Structure 1
Amino acid sequence: MRQLFFSTFNHLYLVFIKAAVCLTQRKLMAGIVVFILLLNTASHARYETIEQVVAIVEDDVVLASEIRDQMAEIHQRLSAKKQPLPDDNRLFEQVLEQKILDSLQLQRADKIGLRISDQQLNDAMASIAARNNLSLTEFKSSIEKQGQSYLEIRNKIRRDMMIREVQRRSVIRTINIDQGEVDNFLRSEKGQALLEIEYNIDHILLAIDVNASENTVAVANKKMSQLRSLAALEGGFPPIAGQAKIITAEHNPLGWRRFSEIPTMFQATVSELSEGIISEPIRSDSGLHIIHLLAKRGGVEGSQTETKVRHILIAPNEIRSIDEAKILAAEVRQKILA
């Protein structure tokens, strides 16, 4: 500070001397006043620290203010829960370490072009609000009432989502599953369950007493056959729910079920039905049923074979024509096959 003062003083003094040679006495007095004011300003100059860089992380920096804000947030959260506060030095190290790690992962996300869409972010915000029994609008108001910025919270959640996605992709790259492990899993009970075909079944029941007469059963069978024909015309059971109620039939969808989960009395019928087909009435102790096979999925047909491929590109350039590239590619192929 002393060096700055004397340097400023010497510079102003030289300026003053040069000016004095050319000025009249009146102008000289004005120059003295200006010189004294400048000298007084220089003597009271102070350095002010605006921001401090705590760490340089590749193309990014971690600022001291970020560390302080994070530590203050942790203190506030722990105090609200009446939990003991950690040692500041230790907490500083932990927060700094986490900031560095987050910065590296966010830079990685930027390099690979990872983006979180507004829709993904909105869904995440809505999920957080729902866990707190709030609508998204109420959640926003709650944040602002606490003196926080809703936009900053959105940005923080977006960053957290990007970091989690980078971590997920990093874990996936480290997983190496050989074909033997795949085969063993498919032979296991869980693997067989995953390969089992699932059926989406809609269902209508017309209850009939187990001891009903043949005539009663015949009448009920006719009603269900008519209902079946109407459902085929209308494209399913939901549009004919009103007609089903008229004959006291109950619409009771079974939903997606594995074959082993389908009631035994329906299994033979379901296995023969094609997608979109409605069965003939099926008799059981509880009455007459008609079922509609809406869709099916899974099974061996749903499994996929993956192939590991290696690729060599020989491109034409300034010194290699396309014909020469083809010849070279053929030579490389022969060497690989040999």
Structure 2
Amino acid sequence: MKTLLTPFLAASTLPLVLMATAVSAQSTSAGAPSLSDFSLYSNTQSLAPQGPKTLDKIVAVVGEDVVLESELDTAVNRIRARAGRRVDQMPPNVLRSQILDQLIITKLQVQRAEERNIQVTDQEIDGGIGRIAQQNNMSMQQLAQAVGADAGMSMEQLRDQVRQELLVSKLRREEVMSKVVVTNDDVDRYLENQSLRSSDERQYHIRQILISLPDDADTASVEAARDRIEALRRQIVDGGASFADVAEAESQGQNAPDGGDLGWLDGSYMPEMFTQVVPAMQPGDVSAVFRGGSGFHLIQLEDVRGGDGLASGQKVMVEEVEASHILLKPNEIRDTQRTRDLARQIRERLDAGDDFAALAREYSDDNATANQGGELGWVQPARFDPATQRQISSLSKGEISPIFQTNEGYELLKVEGRREKDQTREAIRNQARRALGEQKSSEEGELWLRKLRDEAYVDIRLPNYQPTSGS
């Protein structure tokens, strides 16, 4: 039941999952709140001296929040349950340090979202849990049983996890995604560099392990990171460890919680550093260690498919219709009943032979098209609401629809013509724009997280804490 423990948003928008990113063990803000005398008990509702209580130690102070030892223990146990014996071979202090880093990053993002008053409704949480159930082909009752048995969580804990991930997703859309701009010049340069006609037409399913490095890493840090990822490669290649398990436990990339899974990548749009490595690999191969802009990388090729994409000469044809409409909107003077009656009168006049364009100019409430006789021009049916799409699909050239209701009011539609348009060029540019957007979002996300961490007060109190490489 691995899917249950991965961030559920990873299945829908690519750059919005919680990142397992390196953090520093040092406090970074003078004058931050001191909680040196603060302690919490496992049962905070009953603090009277009625027998021994278990002290729940603070292992990190994160702004005005804390990470408790019990919280860290729970996260470690979940990783152990998923990754199995491979993480058992890691030094316990290293594993706990890495998972603590992830918890700190999550808390920083949630705090930032709450500071910005970003809200998540119960309906959104219900929807998120519903998607988890759907992705696992389960009913809600089956999901609740599986969460308890496989993940060791209550449904209330799952709801809180989903709430946090939704908060982070909304925050990243506001602070990262909204700042990503891909211009036409960017697309032009990208396509020139990729050269679709000569590029690899296949798709590759890839997993990645990333050991990150800051831009100003010194020689000792670089060598330590290289040694670390080479040791991980030996565990996988020589020791038979699962790449996904090692990635989940060790990788500092944003896809670490999902076993480093990057999904299917088009050969034409892979990051440049991958294009030098991946095409020569066979499914199941593990690459040599190589360095990229974020640090050292290790990848495994899961599978290959394709040769049937846009680069192979496939055309993208879309249907377009030339249409006109008359839209009547209820208003303060003309209520819904009178609007519907007017629509019937107009339809009767059309049946009697009156000109559609003349009636549109006289009666239509669509200010953008009324003066042009209701002309919408050549448009793709998919851009209309479902009610209008149904009418378009049923009309022949020159035919006028019956009166139908939309979100705006009552409408009459006339189809003037149909055609298919070759939009291959637009599809290629849109594909390139998406690829560029994902690359920029990933880069901006990493920078944003580093800045978030640098500006935060974090006091790590975990005994034998091992700073993540690159912190």
TM-score range, shorter chain: 0.3 to 0.5
TM-score under structure 1 normalisation?
A: 0.40
Question: When you count strand as a share of all residues, which structure comes out higher?
Answer: 2
Question: When you count helix as a share of all residues, which structure comes out higher?
Answer: 1
Larger radius of gyration: 1
Higher relative contact order (CA 8 A, sep 6+): 2
